[in-house]
Structure 1
Amino acid sequence: MKILKLAAVLPIAAFSTFQPAHAAGLTFIEVPSNDRGPVLTATVWYPCVGKPARVEMGFDYSTAVQDCPLAGEQLPLIVISHGVGGWSGNYHALAEMLADGGFVVAAINHPRDSGASKTRYPNDIASMTQRPVDMTRLVDFMLDRWSNASQIDTARIGVFGFSRGGFTGLAMIGGNPDWKLLLDNCPTYPGNRFCEQIRSTAIAPLVGDPRIKAAVLVDPAGGSLFTAEGLGKVTVPVQLWASEYGGDGLSPKDAATVAHNLPAKPDYRIVPNSGHFSFLPPCSQEFAKLVANSGEPELCTDRTGFDRVAFHKQFNADILAFFRKNLIETDQ
């Protein structure tokens, strides 16, 4: 376990084998509907040569080159899963850094609980169990039907997930929760049906995706539901991040339980003085005003002394280093 201290961000040039692109390319895609789910909307970043510019993305923007040609062959792929109410653009700065580092990055809008969804069912347990299916469909599309699929290395795929996305990542690497453990502490917020559904329905085991070779999991929702048995099939390297104080239904116990029950010791990092939403990137002025007016200012505010801007520079650099080590440098 590592207790982090904010430090100077490692310069990218310090990575001796790093081959920088000139910019992150960006394109918006749709994964067609099939018998496993509806149309999925997503954003893809990738290495390209060009002059980056502002690309509008709802309440934020990405600095990238829209629809430029992809540069490179046999590139590793990272797929990103957001938290409840999130969207594909949440981690655009991380995606830009990864793309400039030689990765293709695809971030999804989960249909049942994203902020971009027209119809949301975040209080239905299917909003959790369907998430790994969404992500596997995204990987399928990127490897088989995306216009640049032939330039992705199918043996080098990683996942990043925050909050419910962390739960999703655990499922993708072979984890299965013991849903009955939730009955001891049922969510009480209005409309939540999880415990009602657990009592009345046999929840099918989640299906992992053996193509995932490394995972970064951040404050995983429902982490305390993952027993040693439920994580017994996990074999890939994991970088696990935890907030010191939790929040929004997340407890420090969630990440701690995952860290304790994983078969192999993860790269476990507890961030001092942080809350759950400290892991969301710094808010734009427009988004901060929106959440303040909606009564959810905690999405954009932190405890006194926590510098979200400085933290995310280090956070992104550490994630890049983890994926480079486990997806690029493994054969060197």
Structure 2
Amino acid sequence: MRLTKIMHVAIGMLFACCASFTLAAGLRLVDIPATKTIPALKAAIWSPCSKQPESSQVAAFMVSASRNCPLDVDKLPLIVISHGFTGSMYGHHDSAEALADNGFLVVSLNHTGDSGMSMKYPWDMLAFERRPIEIKRVIDYMLGEATEASQIDSSRIGVMGFSRGGFTSLVIAGGEPDFAGSEVRCKIDRPLCRQLEQEARGTRQWVRDDRVKAAAALDPLNAFPNAANLAGIKIPVFLWISEKGGDGVEPDTEAKLHKLLPTLRDYKVVQNAGHFAFLAPCAEALVKEEPEICQDAPGFDRTAFHHDLNASLVAFFRTALTP
């Protein structure tokens, strides 16, 4: 997904009995410290908040949250969000807000390889390889170093990702890619395009994290051609794909995933939707900056779609992460 220009401009689950405590999403921005092998990561932490929501523009996004809202509940489930190609930690802010409003602690990050703020190696296989490593680092940080660490239920952790981020969700859940055997290809002369033709299953040691107990993949890049590539996934999976695809994501290829995933719990082909429909509904500034990712097919209502999508994500994670 292409949000480069935008980012150059910018930068326990609560159940029904506890719903009165969650009126809005809280928002805290953090810099996750570097380790010997992982660079520092910029992230946003979305949390349940007892304050009324505040709508404000962050970069080209309209975010509804209360900044630095005190967190006064414990045993919260944790969801980590992985964005798509050249995306950002704000690209799925509405889903993060909806999850936080319903009692989840949510972390979205900027991946160092191919986010709009950190394009170190977007056209190299490292961009794929490093993504699950960074998700694992975020989980380590949230359970150990974060201010909210003692309030997280470490037995209820989920991941959610879009496009390359959906691929990341499936890898961290136990999937083993086989790019050479898949239908993932590109037509330009880049190192990544040549690597795709040679990157067979077993070429790399892909990072998985057994602490993750549920995974949501939205229009994921499908580098898993056979059931054997996904046999390692033992946790519940949410898979929604677009009917029309786009930006390198082919609907026919994506549709093959649902027959291969052994633990699929929620599957949907979103009619009349293109690939970018999974991004949050666009604010006016975003329409001006990146009209391509904001334009939907005639008759498609992205706002209504996201109402259904976010409600379904909340329901999925609530069920999948129930003790």
Provide the TM-score with structure 2 as the length reference.
0.89
Q: Shift of the alpha carbon at 1:224?
A: 4.6
1:205 matched to 2:205? The reply is yes
Deviation string, structure 1 residues 222-242 (Cα, Å, up to 9, x no partner)? x15342111111111111001
- Distance (Å, rounded) in 2 between the aligned partners of 1:46 and 1:234: 28
Q: Shift of the alpha carbon at 1:54?
A: 2.9
1:304 matched to 2:298? The reply is yes
Q: Pick one of 276, 297, 310 that aligns with 1:316.
A: 310
Other-structure match for 1:51: 52
Q: CA contact under 8 A between 1:121 and 1:127: conserved in structure 2?
A: yes
- Distance (Å, rounded) in 2 between the aligned partners of 1:254 and 1:130: 24
Other-structure match for 1:122: 122
Q: After alignment, is 105-114 or 57-66 more displaced?
A: 57-66
- Distance (Å, rounded) in 2 between the aligned partners of 1:267 and 1:186: 27
Q: CA contact under 8 A between 2:48 and 2:102: conserved in structure 1?
A: yes
Other-structure match for 2:74: 73
The residue type equivalent to 2:129 in the other structure is T
Q: CA contact under 8 A between 1:214 and 1:237: conserved in structure 2?
A: yes
- Distance (Å, rounded) in 2 between the aligned partners of 1:38 and 1:265: 33
Deviation string, structure 1 residues 262-306 (Cα, Å, up to 9, x no partner)? 123431101111111111111111111112xxxxx3211111111
Q: CA contact under 8 A between 2:167 and 2:223: conserved in structure 1?
A: no
Deviation string, structure 1 residues 37-76 (Cα, Å, up to 9, x no partner)? 2110000000122232234421113211111211210000
Q: CA contact under 8 A between 1:18 and 1:101: conserved in structure 2?
A: no
- Distance (Å, rounded) in 2 between the aligned partners of 1:135 and 1:226: 23
Aligned pairs for 1:189-228 (under 5 A) are 189-196=188-195, 199=198, 203-221=203-221, 223-228=222-227
- Distance (Å, rounded) in 2 between the aligned partners of 1:271 and 1:61: 24
Alignment partner of 1:90: what SS? coil
Q: CA contact under 8 A between 1:259 and 1:266: conserved in structure 2?
A: no
Aligned pairs for 1:73-92 (under 5 A) are 73-92=74-93
The residue type equivalent to 1:76 in the other structure is P
Other-structure match for 2:186: 187
Q: CA contact under 8 A between 1:41 and 1:109: conserved in structure 2?
A: yes
Alignment partner of 1:312: what SS? helix
- Distance (Å, rounded) in 2 between the aligned partners of 1:179 and 1:126: 13
Q: CA contact under 8 A between 2:132 and 2:171: conserved in structure 1?
A: yes
Q: CA contact under 8 A between 2:187 and 2:193: conserved in structure 1?
A: no
Provide the TM-score with structure 1 as the length reference.
0.87
1:112 matched to 2:113? The reply is yes
Alignment partner of 2:94: what SS? helix
Q: CA contact under 8 A between 1:77 and 1:157: conserved in structure 2?
A: yes
Other-structure match for 1:11: none
Other-structure match for 2:276: 277
Q: Shift of the alpha carbon at 1:185?
A: 6.0
- Distance (Å, rounded) in 2 between the aligned partners of 1:135 and 1:82: 11
- Distance (Å, rounded) in 2 between the aligned partners of 1:97 and 1:74: 18
Alignment partner of 1:216: what SS? strand
Deviation string, structure 1 residues 83-108 (Cα, Å, up to 9, x no partner)? 00110011111111111111100001
Q: Shift of the alpha carbon at 1:134?
A: 0.7
The residue type equivalent to 1:324 in the other structure is R
Q: After alignment, is 188-197 or 168-177 more displaced?
A: 188-197
- Distance (Å, rounded) in 2 between the aligned partners of 1:224 and 1:108: 23
- Cα 1:147–1:257 change in 2 (3 A) is same
Other-structure match for 1:5: none
Other-structure match for 1:176: 176
Q: After alignment, is 193-202 or 274-283 more displaced?
A: 193-202
- Distance (Å, rounded) in 2 between the aligned partners of 1:127 and 1:200: 14
* Aligned sequence identity (%): 42
Name the Cα RMSD after superposition: 1.9
The residue type equivalent to 1:23 in the other structure is A
- Cα 1:252–1:289 change in 2 (3 A) is same
The residue type equivalent to 2:255 in the other structure is A
- Distance (Å, rounded) in 2 between the aligned partners of 1:84 and 1:102: 28
Q: CA contact under 8 A between 2:179 and 2:223: conserved in structure 1?
A: no
- Distance (Å, rounded) in 1 between the aligned partners of 2:205 and 2:300: 39
The residue type equivalent to 2:245 in the other structure is G
Other-structure match for 1:261: 260
The residue type equivalent to 2:241 in the other structure is A
The residue type equivalent to 1:146 in the other structure is A
- Cα 1:16–1:144 change in 2 (3 A) is closer
Q: CA contact under 8 A between 1:53 and 1:63: conserved in structure 2?
A: yes
Alignment partner of 1:50: what SS? coil
Q: Unaligned 5+ residue runs, structure 2?
A: 1-14
Q: CA contact under 8 A between 1:55 and 1:66: conserved in structure 2?
A: no
- Distance (Å, rounded) in 1 between the aligned partners of 2:313 and 2:199: 40
Q: Unaligned 5+ residue runs, structure 1?
A: 1-14, 292-296
The residue type equivalent to 1:262 in the other structure is L
Alignment partner of 2:319: what SS? helix
